[in-house]
Amino acid sequence: MKNNSHIKGILCILAAAFGFSLMTFFVRLSGDLPTMQKAFFRNAVAVFVAAVPLIKSEDKFKIKKGSFGDIAFRCIFGTSGLICNFYAIDHLGIADANMLNKLSPFFAILLSIPLLKEVPSVMDIVATVIAFAGALFIIRPGGDMSVIPALIGLYGGFGAGTAYVFVRRLGQKGERTPVIVFCFSVFSCMVTLPFIIFDYHPMSPFQWMCLILAGASASLGQFGITSAYRFAPAKEISVFDYTQVIFAAILGMIFLHETPVPLSVAGYAIIIGVAVVRWRYTLSLKDD
């Protein structure tokens, strides 16, 4: 039974990784639209997806009394990270944008110290330092403004990592996943709505389709991640989430004619490699 649950967890996290890679693909495919407009429609779809299980539940949209502060911070960091990630998607290769966003677990390690009072192991600290060194291969800092989209993408990873820490705190308090997803999606829509009102760009039927599919793909990713961690502990399966970068690179090469530069590939190898080593190390401690 345990092995069966483990396999289900891996399959769910692979589905989530594919869903998030499709989201970035459809966001890019939607073309020359403002970042805020893309973020709004991506989250508008998620509002409806998250509302369905809440409407059917006994407690409906009720939030636990001690959850309001953590939900607020989850919304703030998650929304700012999402907007920065969308900006990076529009200005970088989608594989690069995905990889910078996948630094979020390493940011979560750092932020778990003050927020969760968790002391990282030496392995965690070393892995985090090496991962950020790998990020430099993707960012490629120089003297011109071309580094700005990469730095914004890096903040996207920071925002996501911080949001995940607050999600973990909410999980410890027993808050329901659909409530967390719904609040985040509604908040994101409220933040981006003024930009839609004052700077709306008319969309073609194709662009409407792309953004609706981006929202649906993101919902697949969110609920896939949630289901995965119900079947198996994060430390045992989280490394499979990095397949998102591989999916994104394949989609970019086939449909967008994007080929990652050698330095970016080196950065992918460093970050994914250190994630795999850290995963294997964690499993070896469990076996002992």
How confident is the model over 97-156, as pLDDT tens digits?
A: 988 988 888 888 888 888 888 788 888 889 889 998 998 888 887 656 678 899 999 999
Number of domains in the chain: 1
DSSP, collapsed to helix, strand or coil, labels residue 288 as: coil
Phi, psi of 125 (to 5 degrees): -65, -45
CA distances (Å), origin 165, targets 77, 104, 160, 188, 193:
10, 10, 9, 18, 26
Q: Report the mean per-residue pLDDT for the chain.
A: 87
Residue 164, token pair as written in the block: 């995940």
Domain around 169: 2-287
pTM, whole model, 2 decimals? 0.84
* pLDDT at residue 278, as a whole number: 85
Residues 159-188: tens digit of each pLDDT: 988 988 888 788 888 888 888 889 999 999
Residue burial 69-104, b: 16+ Cβ < 10 Å; e: rest: ebbebbbbbbbbbbbbbbbbbbbbbbbbbbbbbbbb
Contact 275, 231 (CB under 8 A): no
Amino acid at 49: V
